[in-house]
Amino acid sequence: MAVHESVLFIGAGYVGQNILDELLAAKYPVTTFVRRPEQAAIFESSGAQTVLGSLSDLELITAQVAQHEITINTASADDLPSVEAILAGVRQRVKAGLPSIYLHTSGAGAVHDDSMGAHNDGKIYRDDTPTDIEAIPSTNLHRNVDIAIVEAAHEFGDTAKIVIMLPALVYGYNPAHKRHTQIISLLVRFALKRGFAGYVGEGRNLWAAVHVKDLARAFMTVLEHTEKAPPGALVENPYFFAEGGTESSMKEVAEHLAQTLHDIGRIPGAKAQSWSESDYAEVLGPMTAPILGCNARCQAIRLRELGWKPTEKDMWTSWKEDSAS
Ligand SMILES: NC(=O)c1ccc[n+]([C@@H]2O[C@H](COP(=O)([O-])OP(=O)(O)OC[C@H]3O[C@@H](n4cnc5c(N)ncnc54)[C@H](OP(=O)(O)O)[C@@H]3O)[C@@H](O)[C@H]2O)c1
């Protein structure tokens, strides 16, 4: 069996805990960077080591990154200071002549357009065409962080390997972790409170999606690829989308959600309707229409070229079978 290099895992939450399971099953020595002692105890009982800290403990992050050959970050796609602290740790390793891999988690929301629910002909981004991703405005979601990472990747050249993962909408429930996904939880909370599921405008905008366990295997595929890749091979294209092959309009998402919640007796009717502007306050405030009304369309060409295939249940089946949880 191969002896693996050590991993620092920052932010093992809904997405990350599934990746952590895969890493531990593959016998990677993992240190999790975690803010809650009760979560640290769970990770330790699974076989990981732990360091207690928060994303604002920048010196601690840098010091920890400097001690591990591999860093995986699934804490936040938008927290620039902690990402700069990670890159500072990678820089220390580079200066010491030590190898480094950094897998950062961004999100396919970075490719959003300004549909506001009105249309579904948003551009489909492919991860084998990095020039299109580079052309996304720096003001789009997650882009300020991704651009800082790309600049560092160019600075490091062939002395460190840097990857940016861009998962589509993540769904699926792992009963071992009892954690829920962010955006869908938001939609569920609104529906339970107000008795109907909502969408922006006409809800025609399309989102790709990926099951959380398929996503965890995608991280492993990319990690193994990165470990074997020649130095410098990822500098010109650090991007990997992860999507499971289907797209849904946000109106369809709301309709399925309403039906699912109605079927388990949580809302009185299976009703989905366009939100009024006054509803936005209970969803994402002023960001409701730009985010939940955008097209976020992408294709994970590179993962499929590496042999990864989505094998988990689709989103509607997952909701039907897992909704009682
Ligand atoms: N879920 C999706 O649909 C989706 C789609 C695309 C991209 N993403 C990206 O994937 C990443 C993970 O998402 P997720 O759904 O797994 O989120 P999550 O469940 O909230 O996980 C985030 C993890 O980071 C930890 N964390 C957050 N802030 C921290 C802080 N200040 N200090 C220390 N730890 C902190 C959280 O700790 P606690 O356990 O203490 O809360 C949690 O373990 C994010 O970057 C997200 O933008 C998610």
| Complete DSSP assignment for 119-140 | -S---EEETT-HHHHHTS-TTS
Residue 273 Cα to ligand 1 middle (Å): 29
Protein residue with least CA distance to atom 25, ligand 1: 11
Best CA proximity match to 11, nearest among 66, 79, 63: 79
Residue 222 Cα to ligand 1 middle (Å): 20
pLDDT reported for residue 3: 85
Which residues, 6+ apart, have CB-to-CB distance to 121 below 8 Å?
295
Give yes or no for a contact between 243 and 166, defined as CB atoms under 8 angstroms apart: no
Element (H, E) at 281: none
Which residues, 6+ apart, have CB-to-CB distance to 201 below 8 Å?
115, 116, 117, 118, 274, 289, 293
Element (H, E) at 157: none
pLDDT reported for residue 255: 98
Mean pLDDT over residues 104-127, rounded?
97
Protein residue with least CA distance to atom 43, ligand 1: 13
The secondary structure of 242-267 as a DSSP string is E--S-EEEHHHHHHHHHHHHHHTTSS
Protein residue with least CA distance to atom 6, ligand 1: 107
Residue 1 Cα to ligand 1 middle (Å): 32
Ligand 1 atom with minimal separation from the 108 CA: 6
CATH code for residues 7-110+125-168+211-242: 3.40.50.720
Give yes or no for a contact between 157 and 196, defined as CB atoms under 8 angstroms apart: no
Q: Tokens 């399309």, residue?
A: 206
Q: Is domain 171-208+246-322 classified as CATH 3.20.90?
A: no
**DSSP designation for 110:** G
Ligand 1 atom with minimal separation from the 182 CA: 1
Instruction: For ligand 1, say whether the CB of 172 is within 6 Å of any of its atoms.
Output: no
What residue spans in the chain does CATH classification 3.40.50.720 cover? Answer: 7-110+125-168+211-242
Mean pLDDT over residues 294-322, rounded?
96
Element (H, E) at 93: helix 80-95
Ligand 1 atom with minimal separation from the 76 CA: 45
**DSSP designation for 291:** I
pLDDT digits (tens, 9 = 90+) for 22-51: 999 999 999 999 999 999 999 999 999 999
Phi, psi dihedrals of residue 226, rounded to the nearest 5°: -65, -40
Residue 14 Cα to ligand 1 middle (Å): 7
Q: pLDDT grade, residue 123 (50/70/90)?
A: very high
Protein residue with least CA distance to atom 3, ligand 1: 170
What residue spans in the chain does CATH classification 3.90.25 cover? Answer: 171-208+246-322
pLDDT digits (tens, 9 = 90+) for 157-202: 999 999 999 999 999 999 999 999 999 999 999 999 999 999 999 9
Instruction: For ligand 1, say whether the CB of 86 is within 6 Å of any of its atoms.
Output: no
Which residues, 6+ apart, have CB-to-CB distance to 267 below 8 Å?
191, 192, 195, 196, 197, 258, 261
Instruction: For ligand 1, say whether the CB of 169 is within 6 Å of any of its atoms.
Output: yes
Look at the alpha carbons of 70, 75, 76, 82 in this order and tell me if their dihedral is positive or negative.
Answer: negative
Give yes or no for a contact between 31 and 50, defined as CB atoms under 8 angstroms apart: yes
Instruction: For ligand 1, say whether the CB of 11 is within 6 Å of any of its atoms.
Output: yes
Inter-axis angle of helices 250-263 and 315-322, nearest 10:
20
Q: Check pLDDT > 70 for residue 1.
A: no
**DSSP designation for 2:** P
Q: What is the mean pLDDT of the chain?
A: 97
Mean pLDDT over residues 75-92, rounded?
98
The residues facing 180 across adjacent strands are none
Q: What is the pTM of this model?
A: 0.97
